[in-house]
Amino acid sequence: MSFFIVGVGLASFCPADLLQAKEFLWFALAAACLAAAGLIKIFFSKDGIDQSRLYFYFIFFLSFLWFGVWRYAFLLPADSQEKIWHYNGRRASVIGAVAAEPDVRDSNIRLEIDAASIVLADQKSKPVRVEGLILVTASRFPEYDYGDRLAIDCQLSQPEAFDGFAYDRFLAVRNIYTVCDYPKVRLVGTGGGRAFYKKLLEIKNEIYAIIDRGLAEPEASLTKAIMLGNQRGVPAELKDEFSRAGVSHIMAISGMNITIFSSLLFSLLLFVGLSRRGSFYAASFLLFAYIAMIGAPASAVRAGVMGFLFLLAAHLGRLGKIINVVILAAVIMLWLNPKLFRDDLSFQLSFLAMLGIIRFYPAIKKWFDSLIGTKNELALRAFAAGGDVLAVTLAAQVFTLPVLVYNFGQASLAAPAANLLILWTQPPFMVFSLAAIALSAVFASLANIFFLPGAIFLKYVVLVSGLIAGLPVAAKETSLASLLAVYAAAGGGWFLTAKINSQNQKPKARIKF
């Protein structure tokens, strides 16, 4: 299955024209048929698989490789009069429905419109049925809701990259190939959309209002960012401090963040006395309840899957048992949307963080446990929980750091210390905040009191982040090549140390007289 991922990765770097060429598709089909014929021959051969193991593996891996390439090519946008992107570059009047939660900014609003029909401005003809998403940037007011049916008159355009950012590929992950800036918008109807999703958005908006009643700024915006992934109101200077300290992930609903949060929650439940099984079920329930509470966006669902896999591995007691399940989860995600591999940073961090934890967490945790010398049971459990926090964080960052450096060009050398000092606050903060939201919904006048414990944790997080961000080693400009060189040196040193230790542990031969 891992070769399916390799195939998707190779296809994501191939030109779209090549992947959509009929000759390429016929070649892929021929390769798949050849692979299938080889598999059939092996299974019905008298020699069996044991005698043809190498050939079997080669055909098997080749099949999955080409299957990944084919799946990516199959989902590339095809030009057709029934697709909205066919009309890019032309002015038209489009009727469609708001297909997702509106993205409200300070000066504008962004709407994903699911197009239903189009009339070209230079052709006064009957509406033509179309399908596809349009990203509309409109004036801040009037506001529109999910499910509203709108008539839009604008110039349809193809997304383009700018300032080194592949904006077109970023939108393609969400199957958006058409944009429209500041059109004439007219409300045609209301009440559309899926009822369940609308209810989730209503709950989410009510939570926003409750947080605003109970907290002042910047605590209110920071709570929305940590709890719901909404960073729009967080001050730019605070975002910069979090970035320099290496703790920006606490404000994002990413696989790395959810996985670390799951480990913290699991450790906290063990610390308070729950059994391993009880901690697994309680943490899993809270994780999925949290994903539902924030509206279950696709990125959060993917992150939740990775977080649940970590909880499952912790419940089983061996992370190594879960590696195949993680790969299967990645294959399913890429089957549904192959564009995630190259162009979705959240997916990359989710998958790599989980692989880093599987590969390095046991060794780091074992080393931390060997440093604990106390015999006090309570202190031992507290140190073990703290060791879990740092071990999970370091293990996740081993694989995710190169991706972060490649995308942002800097690394925070103080990140391990910042995470150790800050991440332990997240489970109690979220527990206090969830309790405050529930109580404030009933006793609105006491919201300020209910949110006070969470506000104290936030002030601590802001204080520590500011102090660490001010250190000279907080964030350093670096290149991916430099980081990989450090990794190579560290890996070589680890290999030599392990080899020397293994030789020293070998029993010496006795000399017989």
Residues in a beta bridge with 83? 131
Q: Which helix (H) or strand (E) holds 259?
A: helix 255-271
Which structure tokens are listed for 352? 């790599």
Residues in a beta bridge with 154? 92
- Total structural domains in the chain? 4
Q: Do 266 and 356 reside in the same domain of the chain?
A: yes
Locus of tokens 């990775």:
306
- The reported pLDDT for the residue numbered 178 is 92
Profile the chain (513 residues) by mean pLDDT over runs of 10 residues. 78 76 64 63 56 61 77 83 89 89 84 89 79 90 88 90 83 90 89 82 86 88 83 82 79 68 75 80 82 72 78 70 77 86 82 79 72 56 59 75 72 73 78 86 89 91 87 66 63 58 54 43
Closest CA to 101 of 300, 285, 257, 290: 300
Q: Do 177 and 201 reside in the same domain of the chain?
A: no
- Rounded distance between C-alpha atoms, residue 61 and residue 55, angstroms: 10
- The reported pLDDT for the residue numbered 506 is 52
Helix (H, G, I), strand (E, B) or coil at 96: strand
Write the CA distances from 305 to 168, 350, 359, 401, 417, integer angstroms.
27, 9, 19, 21, 28
Which structure tokens are listed for 73? 């090519």
- The reported pLDDT for the residue numbered 149 is 92
7 in a domain, yes or no? Answer: yes
CA angle 92, 97, 98 (to 5 degrees): 110
> How far is the first Cα of the chain from the last one, in angstroms, to the nearest whole number?
58
381 in a domain, yes or no? Answer: no
Q: Do 54 and 164 reside in the same domain of the chain?
A: no
Which residues, other chains included, contact 352 with Cβ-Cβ below 8 Å and sequence gap of 6+? Answer: 399, 400, 403
Contact indicator for 67, 4 with CB cutoff of 8 Å = yes
| CATH (domain of 147) | 2.40.50
96 in a domain, yes or no? Answer: yes
Q: Do 167 and 231 reside in the same domain of the chain?
A: no
Q: Do 219 and 289 reside in the same domain of the chain?
A: no
423 in a domain, yes or no? Answer: yes
| Residue count (the chain) | 513
444 in a domain, yes or no? Answer: yes
- The reported pLDDT for the residue numbered 9 is 81
- The reported pLDDT for the residue numbered 388 is 65
Q: Do 150 and 170 reside in the same domain of the chain?
A: yes
Q: Do 122 and 43 reside in the same domain of the chain?
A: no
What is the residue range of 14's domain? 2-74
Which residues, other chains included, contact 321 with Cβ-Cβ below 8 Å and sequence gap of 6+? Answer: 313
Crossing angle for the helix pair 255-271 and 377-408, nearest 10 degrees? 180
Last residue of a domain, one of 45, 74, 103: 74
- The reported pLDDT for the residue numbered 55 is 61
Q: Do 453 and 494 reside in the same domain of the chain?
A: yes
173 in a domain, yes or no? Answer: yes
CA angle 271, 276, 281 (to 5 degrees): 105
How distant is the alpha carbon of residue 420 from its chain centre?
22
Helix (H, G, I), strand (E, B) or coil at 483: helix
Which structure tokens are listed for 354? 């989980």
- The reported pLDDT for the residue numbered 426 is 76
- Rounded distance between C-alpha atoms, residue 331 and residue 327, angstroms: 6
Q: Is the pTM of this model over 0.75?
A: no
Contact indicator for 53, 77 with CB cutoff of 8 Å = no
Contact indicator for 317, 279 with CB cutoff of 8 Å = no
Locus of tokens 């509203």:
148
Last residue of a domain, one of 74, 109, 131: 74
Residues in a beta bridge with 137? 110, 181
Q: Do 273 and 241 reside in the same domain of the chain?
A: no
Contact indicator for 283, 265 with CB cutoff of 8 Å = yes
Q: Do 346 and 421 reside in the same domain of the chain?
A: no
- Rounded distance between C-alpha atoms, residue 56 and residue 35, angstroms: 10
104 in a domain, yes or no? Answer: yes
Q: Do 101 and 121 reside in the same domain of the chain?
A: yes
HSE-CB for 12 with a 13 A CA cutoff: 20
Write the CA distances from 436 to 39, 221, 440, 442, integer angstroms.
59, 16, 6, 10
339 in a domain, yes or no? Answer: yes
- The reported pLDDT for the residue numbered 513 is 38
Last residue of a domain, one of 193, 211, 234: 193
Q: Do 110 and 212 reside in the same domain of the chain?
A: no
**Pairing of the two strands 108-120 and 128-129:** antiparallel
